[in-house]
Amino acid sequence: MPPPMVLAICHAPPAVPSSLRSLRSHPRFFPDPWHEGVLPSLSRNERILIVGTGLTMADVVASLERTGHRGEIVAVSRRGLRPQPHTDNLSVFEGDFTTPCVTQAAVLSRHVRETVTETVRQGLPWQIVLNRVHEQGQPIWQNLSVSARRQFLRHLRPYWDTHRFRIAPQVHEAIERRIANGTLDIQAASVRANSATSHAITVDLRSRHSTEWRPATFGAVILATGPAHAIAADPLLSSMNAEGLLQADALGLGIAVDRLGHAIGYQNAPNPNLFVAGPLARGTFGELMGISDLATYADKIAERIATSYVADNYRTSEDAR
């Protein structure tokens, strides 16, 4: 039997939205804010558009403030949701969201919201409830039907992300400070490219629930929409997909794997010698974004490989006798 292989793939770079693709070659359009030299290239008073209002947006705003930026920042996303802060309350919530088994996203959402309401009524922070949901995240996810998972991704995921992936107090204070002094405006809006000069970019913004597009001009546009999910974004994964060694999962979150972490090929059969580690296995396992989740999952894969290796060596030695 050939030795097992582990495909350890991290997040793919952000994908440029189709409405902004005409800006890809513009020198003031930055699809990766962490690329060397991007943030230092922005002047103190430059008006900046950030597309995305999640963790990356929060980190960019805090980083710009540290470098002395004082210009206007507009951040947009479809719902205009922003990351919530951590709590310093160390209480532990010991409720159970896995029993009875919940298969529908709406039922799960109602249960979590009711629990949060009751917890806050008791004077405890809502964060401890979400911590417990996170702890039980994989069994909760695997209990949901495929249609319920799709419903969660379409309607609930943005709210989960902004409450689960929270920001440090210093970053939260920077966001609040910029909003209070009028230099940060977080909007629920759609965006599309309009026109550009060598030093400025004009886009059209349409507020949520509105049909009217309004032009706005910025000195720079920064993409902060998070990692891409499509396996076509990675040349290696695209090649393996073409050869039938793996395929995209049904939810479009990454690579299809079974519950042991084996990649599933075009025959819809798991390959016992090919494991997928990292966040691209989240279609099956749910939350695989934070370091602790990734480390726990990688540890389980390593344990399975070690167990299999020992068993194979034992069988080989027995056959040689």
DSSP string, 227-262: -B--GGGSHHHHHHHHTTS--B-TTSSSB-B-TT-E
Q: What pLDDT is stored for residue 230 in this prediction?
A: 77
Q: What is the pLDDT of residue 315?
A: 55
Which residues of the chain, if any, have pLDDT below 70?
A: 1, 310-321
pLDDT for 232 equals 79
Q: What is the pLDDT of residue 287?
A: 83
- C-alpha torsion angle, residues 197, 200, 201, 206 (rounded to 10): -130
Q: Which residues pair with 138 in a beta bridge?
A: none
Q: Are strands 29-30 and 220-223 parallel, antiparallel or unpaired?
A: parallel
pTM of the model: 0.89
Q: Are 191 and 76 in contact (CB under 8 A)?
A: yes
CATH of the domain spanning 18-83+167-223: 3.50.50.60
Ranges of each domain in the chain: 5-12+229-320, 18-83+167-223, 105-164
Assess contact for 129 and 112: CB atoms under 8 A.
Answer: yes
pLDDT of the residue at 174: 95
Q: Supply 287's token pair.
A: 């939350």
Residue 108 is predicted with a pLDDT of 94
